[in-house]
Structure 1
C-alpha cells in the first residue's frame, strides 16, 4: 500500500495497537453467539482475534496483514486448523480470490484499521460502490484508510453479518464524515457506539470509539451510544434517533449538549453570532511580519482580556484585507492541547490575529452572557467536548456555532 501521510505516533503501517481490555469489550459488544467465520483485515498484533477466540472458540479465523512479521505475533492458542493468515494488502479489489472466500459470505468481522491516507487507486471507487458507500465520494479529495477498510469488510460480510470496529473520532464526529455516518446508519445499521477514553493506544492521545454495524439490515429507530468510564464501567445509554446520525455520534458531545439543553433556554450560539472568522496570518508569517499579531502562545491564564500591547493603531488597520478583531469581540484559540483555556475579550483596540485564533462577534445583547459562559468551567468543558484531533486538539466553526449557552 503506497502511503501519502502517516500519523507520527503510529508504526510504519499507520497502526495503533489495541489494548487487550478494549479488544474484549469490542467482542462482547458485538453480542454474537457462535459465528462460523471471523475475519480481521489488518490484524496487527492479533489483540482482537485473541479475545474473539476466547469467546468464539469454534469459529474459523481468517486474518490479513501487509506486514510479513505479523504471523509471529498471532495467538498461539488457536488451533492451526482454525486460523488462516494471509500476508498482503487488505485493500486489494480481488481480495476474495486471495482469501479463497466469496464476497458476501462471511458471518462476522473485527477490525482496528490503520490511520493513514493511501494513494488513490481506481478500484477504491468500486470498493466503496459495492459497499453502498459511493455517496460519500464528493466529500473527499482522497479516502482515509479507515473508510476503505469499513467498505472492504462490508463487501466480505453476508447480509446481516456483523462488523465490530475501533475507529477514530473524526469518523464519529467530524463534519466531513456526515454523509458516511448517514450511509452507515441507513443503508446498513449502526447498532451501538462506545466512546473510549483518550490514551487507549500506546504513545498517542488519539480518541477512538467502538462501533458495531450490521450489513444491509433495516435501521432501528435509535442508535445506542455509551461511554467507557475511567473505572471500566459503561455509562448509561443515550438513544439517538437514527435520522440524526449525520450530525455527531460521540457520547461526550451528546451528553454535554443534552445537559446544556436541559439547563438553558436552548439558545444556540449560531442564532446570535454576527461574525465568526479565522485569523489571516500563519504562525510563521507572524514571526517575519512587522505587524503586531496575536498568537495562541501569547495567551496567559492570569487575565481574560487582550493586553494593550497587542492593540494596533486604527489608521494601520483601516480598510485592511486581513482579519482584525474589534472591541467587544471574543478571541478563542482554535487549536492546541489546552485551547479551551485560551479565551480573551478585546477591550483596548483593534487586534490582529493568527489563523490559530477564532474571532467571535455576537449580538451586543448577548455579549456578556456568551463570554461568561465560554470562560466558565462548564463552557470550557463543553468546548473540549466538541474538539477533534490527536495531541493538538482543534475545534471547527460549525462545532462552535452549535453550542448552546
Structure 2
C-alpha cells in the first residue's frame, strides 16, 4: 500500500509500507516482461510504482476501496503508463469479473493486504468452496483478509504467473494458517519468503514478510531470507517445501539448522507446560491476586508467591496453580522473552498470559539458565510470532531445543 509518514494504519487495517520495501519486493520477482499487472488494495500505488520502474510497458490495474491510486504522473523513462483504477472492495468474491477481467488472465499480481479479520459472510464461504479450499480452512471462523486476497490473486493469475505480496507474521508461522500454507504448496511454488525488519511499516513494529508465489510452480524447495535492515539481507536458507507447512519464518528454521547433537527439547526432558485460565479483566476483578505479566520485574529470577495475599479457597480447582520450583514465563507480550522466573516459595493461580513449566529437578536450574541466556533468548525469539502482539505457542515452547544439557 501507500508510503505515508503521518500514520501507520487506518480503520481498514492497512499498514503503510516504506518505499524501499516495495522496491525490495519487486527485486525478488523473477517473472519476465509481464503484460498485465494487478494490484489489489493498492493505496497510493507504492507497489505499482516500484513495478513500473522495472516494467514501464506493462498495463497496470489497481483496485482500492477508498484510495484513488494515481500512476500517470510518475516518470517512466519516456513511456506513458497504461493504467486503470477501480474503486472496489478486493474482498468482494465477484471482483475479477466486476472489473472486466477473466480468470487466469493476469501475468503478475502484487499485493499488500490489510491485516484484519473481515466481517464473515456466506459469499466468502461460497467463494472459498469454489476455489477448492478444504473444509478445514473454510470451517475456521473469521478468516483473516489475506486468505481471501491470496485466493483472489491466484484465481486471476495465468499458469506460471507470479504473486508478490506482503503478508503478516501469523500467516507465515501461525498454527491457524497451517492448512492454508499446505493448500498453497500443494498446487503452487512458494519461491521465496523474506522476513522484514520490524520498522518496515511506518509508525509500528508489526512483523511482516515478503512472499513470492508462482502459480502452478513445481519447485520443491523454498528460499528464506531476512532483511536485517532495509538495505541488507542475511544469508539464504533453503528448506524443502514440506517444511514450509510448519513454518516459513527465517528465524525459526535458522534455529533448527543450528541445533547441535547435544541439544534436547523441553519435551524430551520431561517438561510439562500449562497456562492459566483468567484473562486480564478477570485478574483485575478477582479478590484473589493472580500472577500476571505485570508481576514480572526487570532482572527477576525468583518470585515468592507467599506475598500474594488472599487464600485460593474453594476456587482452587478452576485455576492453574504455580508452586515452588515451577518456572513461570510470559506467553504473550512485546518483551515476553524477558519475563521468566522461578517460584521460590508459596503457590498462587496464574493468568492465561502465563506458562507454568514443571521440569524434573535435576534439569531445572540448567533449563532456567538456558532460557535467560543469550542463546536461549534468541531461540525463544525465533519461535515467537504475531503481527502486533507477540505470542509463543505451547507446541513451539515444548519443541524448544535446549543446549548444554
Could you tell me the TM-score, scaled by structure 1's length? Answer: 0.90
Q: Which moved more, 1:377-386 or 1:156-165?
A: 377-386
Q: Number of residue pairs matched?
A: 394
Q: For structure 1, list consecutive stretches of 5 or more residues without a partner in the other structure.
A: 1-7
Other-structure match for 1:222: 221
Q: Deviations over 1:117-160 (max 9, x none)?
A: 11122232343244443455256112211110000001100111
User: Structure 2 regions of 5+ residues with no counterpart?
Assistant: 1-6
Taking the aligned partners of 2:314 and 2:372, their CA distance within structure 1 comes to 28
- In structure 2, what is the Cα distance between the partners aligned to 1:81 and 1:342? 53
SS of residue paired to 1:189: strand
Q: Deviation string for 1:170-221 (max 9, x for gaps)?
A: 0001011111111112221111111100021112111110100011222x22
Summarize the Cα distance change of 1:340–1:360 in structure 2 as closer, same or farther, 3 Å threshold. same
Secondary structure of the structure 2 residue equivalent to 1:226: strand
Aligned match of 1:155: 155
Other-structure match for 1:376: 373
Structure 1 residue 364, shift from structure 2 partner: 2.8
Alignment of 1:366 onto 2:338 = no
Deviates more, 1:282-291 or 1:130-139: 130-139
Change (3 A) 1:66 1:75: farther
- Aligned-partner SS, 2:400: coil
Residue aligned with 1:35, SS: coil
2:61 is aligned to 62
Within 1, Cα distance between the matches of 2:280 and 2:315? 23
Please say if residues 93 and 124 of structure 2, whose CA atoms lie closer than 8 Å, have aligned partners that are also in contact: yes
Corresponding residue for 1:335? 332
Rounded Cα–Cα distance in structure 1 between residues aligned with 2:316 and 2:119: 44
Q: In the TM superposition, what are the counterparts of 1:241-256 in structure 2 within 5 Å?
A: 241-256=240-255
Distance 2:360 2:310 in 1: 25
Q: Is the 8 A contact 1:133 1:151 kept in 2?
A: no
What per-residue deviation string (whole Å, max 9, x for no partner) do you get for residues 316-351 of structure 1? 489633110122211001122111111111121213
Aligned residue for 2:69? 71
TM-score by length of 2: 0.90
Find the aligned partners of 1:352 and 1:374 in 2 and give their Cα distance.
22
Counterpart among 294, 314, 338 of residue 297 in structure 1: 294
Q: Deviations over 1:233-260 (max 9, x none)?
A: 221111111112211111012112322x
Given candidates 385, 390, 395, the residue that maps to 2:392 is 395
